[in-house]
Amino acid sequence: MTSPESSQLVATAGDYLRWGRMGTEVFHDALVVLDARSADLPSLLPGWSRRDVVAHVALNAAALCNLLTWARTGVPKPMYPNDAARDRAIAEQSRLTWCELSKTFMQSAARFAHEVEEMPPDAWSRTVRTRTGRTVPADQILWLRAREVWIHAVDLASTTTIDSLPKDFAMVLVEEVTTALRGRPDVPALRLEPADAATGWTVGADEPSDLVSGPVNWLLAWLIGRSDGTGLSWYTPSRKPLAMPPWL
């Protein structure tokens, strides 16, 4: 089994599955403490309400089931017909009652778990294409789901914070994000050094001369736009938090 694309950290399909199951439970627990009165409040995802986030995560499970079917049968089955269809589906599903929306999330998560169990062992090495057009081994579907439930559990602004993410999961996600940001001229050239792990990453196109340091989970929050960088140590000319462009 492979680790996330371009990752230097070792993670297995078993890790992805474990993180995905944990994240699904955490996401559900975050839903339990919310109610219809708070469903329309903003999430941490700009422009999205909490109900938008739940609709999106539920539909993501169904979309990833399409990729599992693709890997199992060899017949291409994309996640969504196109981005416009995806956006329409999220908008439509977000209009469900909060109770219906929560139930839809659990049903879609259960379906995804069942289809994972039904996958033949040899199907995990077959390739599929993600929504963004990347061709990846099918075991990456497990990683995509784990990433989805954990990040968006934080976005619900309920019981889950960035510190709730398992550190090993956060490390692998930081590796994936920094790989995507490395070599980009629109990204500040920085060295990132976690205060709680013996490793480091670089981003940007140039040789970094400046440094950002802090806990792995806090670095992750800033990299994926869930933090403005407050609380990190900035060894940059301005010594102030910098803005990071989208990584996906």
CB 90 within 8 Å of CB 59? yes
Task: List, in order of start, the domains of the chain with CATH numbers.
Answer: 13-160 (1.20.120.450), 167-235 (3.30.1050.20)
For 215-245, write each residue's pLDDT tens digit. 999 999 999 999 999 999 999 888 888 888 9
Confidence of residue 6 (pLDDT cuts 50, 70, 90): very low
Does residue 2 sit in helix, strand or coil? coil
**How many CA atoms lie less than 13 Å away from 201 in the CB half-sphere?**
29
For 63-103, write each residue's pLDDT tens digit. 999 999 999 999 999 999 999 999 999 999 999 999 999 99
Confidence of residue 110 (pLDDT cuts 50, 70, 90): very high
For 131-149, write each residue's pLDDT tens digit. 999 999 999 999 999 999 9
* High-pLDDT (> 90) share of the chain, %: 90
For 48-64, write each residue's pLDDT tens digit. 999 999 999 999 999 99
Q: Is the pLDDT of residue 248 over 90?
A: no
Confidence of residue 8 (pLDDT cuts 50, 70, 90): low
- The predicted pLDDT at position 34 comes to 93
**How many CA atoms lie less than 13 Å away from 191 in the CB half-sphere?**
10
Confidence of residue 3 (pLDDT cuts 50, 70, 90): very low
Q: Which of 8-22, 39-53, 171-185 has the lowest mean pLDDT?
A: 8-22
Radius of gyration of the chain from its Cα atoms, rounded to whole angstroms:
18
Work out the burial of residue 242: count CB atoms within 10 Å of its CB; fewer than 13 is exposed, 13-18 middle, 19 or more buried: middle
Work out the burial of residue 99: count CB atoms within 10 Å of its CB; fewer than 13 is exposed, 13-18 middle, 19 or more buried: exposed
- The predicted pLDDT at position 219 comes to 98
